[in-house]
Amino acid sequence: MAMRWYVVHAYSGYEKRVMNSLKDRIELYGMQDKFGDVLVPTEEVVEIRDGKKRKSERKFYPGYVLVQIDMDDDAWHLVKDTPRVLGFIGGTADKPAPITEKEAAEILRRVESGVDKPRPKTVFEPGEMVRVVDGPFADFNGVVEEVNYEKNKLQVAVLIFGRSTPVELEFGQVEKA
């Protein structure tokens, strides 16, 4: 059989520990030939806290770990007996089903693209009220007119001297009002 991607259900918040435990157990039992990659799909997000930009990781699928396995009984037991693993997703309890190659490729593509450009933690929509927290228009309120996720910028209509003025701002310069 060939290596296929399986989704392992882990305790939420313990995905990284489960990933590391699996890697350690694979090495301990000498089963590197049965396993490929073990990963927790994440992307980098940027948030503003206390006026400072902070990068953090956000999981695409909280509570799940992706494992590339050439499935047999030994591999199944190694995963199932790992602490904080609840089981496999898909198939039956004793015969898990792998995800399709297309699904696996899409998840890996999302992980790869997330590495290049950190995404904002907050999602903005046109018509939404925001408060400017940084730059020359700090402490002004405005309405989002356009959102450009590629450039991480917003077009905001800010009320200055009683007039609505369009201003282009970065995501990090505003917060939801």
Q: Closest Cα partner for 144 from 166, 122, 172, 121?
A: 166
Domain 4-120 fold is: Alpha-Beta Plaits (3.30.70)
Show Cβ contacts of residue 16 under 8 Å, excluding neighbours closer than 6 positions: 40
Residue 84 to residues 14, 21, 28, 64, 70: CA-CA distances in angstroms? 7, 9, 18, 11, 22
Where do the domains of the chain lie?
4-120, 129-176
Cα–Cα distance for residue pair 169/130, rounded to 1 Å: 11
Instruction: Specify the 3-state DSSP secondary structure of 108.
Output: helix
Local confidence pLDDT in tens for the 177 residues of the chain: 689 999 999 999 999 999 999 999 999 999 999 999 999 998 877 776 666 777 888 888 999 999 999 999 999 999 999 999 999 999 888 899 999 999 999 988 888 876 655 566 678 889 999 999 888 988 999 999 999 877 888 999 998 888 899 999 988 888 888
Domain 129-176 fold is: SH3 type barrels. (2.30.30)
